[in-house]
Amino acid sequence: MMNYSSGPPDTGTQTTDSPAVRAEGLTVVRGPRTVLRGLDFTVPRGQITGLLGPSGCGKSTLMRSVVGTQAKVTGTLDVLGHPAGHPTLRTRIGYVTQAPSVYDDLTVRQNLDYFAAILAPGRAAADRRHSDVTRVIEDVDLTSHADALAGNLSGGQRSRVSLAVALLGTPELLVLDEPTVGLDPVLRRDLWNLFHDITTQRGATLLISSHVMDEAERCHRLLLMREGEILADDTPDALRPRTGSETVEAAFLHLVDEAVAAGRKKETTR
Ligand SMILES: Nc1ncnc2c1ncn2[C@@H]1O[C@H](COP(=O)(O)OP(=O)(O)O)[C@@H](O)[C@H]1O
Ligand SMILES: [Mg+2]
């Protein structure tokens, strides 16, 4: 499905050794609430990191912080060697929001032409845009639907169009907010296979959120979140034995129980 002729992206010599994302004391306040509470974590390059936790725990807020669209972010947040939101990161990050927008009255190719023109405007870039659009349509396996109106596609095909938009310009970091929500098991599996292809064939870094714990097993690394805090930052293989659990879901529940018990202890000793 994927066919990249180019090697790993040129990330610049001074930044290749640093992690894709490094957060220290990352805090976000939204209205009266502290939504992210002084988080420390890193996202290694060239791997799939899963950001997992129940609805409302702060996954989308964390992702918006990484891509630079979240207000009231404090602490340190470096992305690809620059502070989050730095202008040079714009073309190096691909982002798919939780409610991705594709235009129903445009075809798959027209949607991608439109977003490609925003990324690389001007007549001089026309040839590059055309081949880029053809490549990403191929990457997400929609070549046979390239001329179909987006409004006539199935849910799974629409999410692949959004993913194709994020792949334009071969970004080094892909931030995907719950990309598999509402998809049937077969489509979910296909999409996860595609995510793995993107990391192995292109060396890209993926940060993918989900509230479905079984998806954790497909990630290289996990950030388990609850109520604006990170309960664990580990590999699935290390997490299961560490908590004496058979699945990541059981490990997560174990960590939640521990956190609740620690919270109670704090309350009673106050
Ligand atoms: N506009 C807002 N103002 C204040 N708080 C908000 C706003 N939007 C979301 N929140 C709060 O931020 C928290 C984290 O939300 P979000 O990052 O969307 O979580 P997730 O993506 O994990 O479901 C939620 O508990 C929610 O109550
Ligand atoms: Mg969310």
Tell me the CA–centroid distance for residue 71 and ligand 1, in Å: 13
Atom 25 of ligand 1: nearest residue by CA position: 56
- Measured from the CA of 61, which atom of ligand 1 is nearest? 17
Ligand 1 pocket residues where CB is under 6 Å: 30-31, 33, 35, 53, 55-61
User: Residue 196 class from Cβ within 10 Å (0-12 exposed, 13-18 middle, 19+ buried)?
Assistant: middle
For residue range 71-112, list pLDDT tens digits in order. 999 999 999 999 999 999 988 999 999 887 899 999 999 999
Q: What residues pair up with 234 in beta bridges, in sequence order?
A: 222
Give 33's pLDDT tier (boundaries 50, 70, 90): very high
Count the alpha carbons within 13 Å of 100 in the hemisphere toward its beta carbon. Answer: 26
Tell me the CA–centroid distance for residue 12 and ligand 2, in Å: 32
pTM of the model: 0.89
For residue range 197-246, list pLDDT tens digits in order. 999 988 999 999 998 888 999 999 999 999 999 999 999 999 999 999 99
CA distances from 264 to 108, 236, 261, 268 (A): 53, 28, 5, 6
Query: What is the bridge-based pairing of β-strands 21-30 and 73-79?
Result: antiparallel
How many whole angstroms separate alpha carbon 76 and alpha carbon 56? 23
For residue range 135-182, list pLDDT tens digits in order. 999 988 899 999 999 999 988 888 889 999 999 988 999 999 999 888
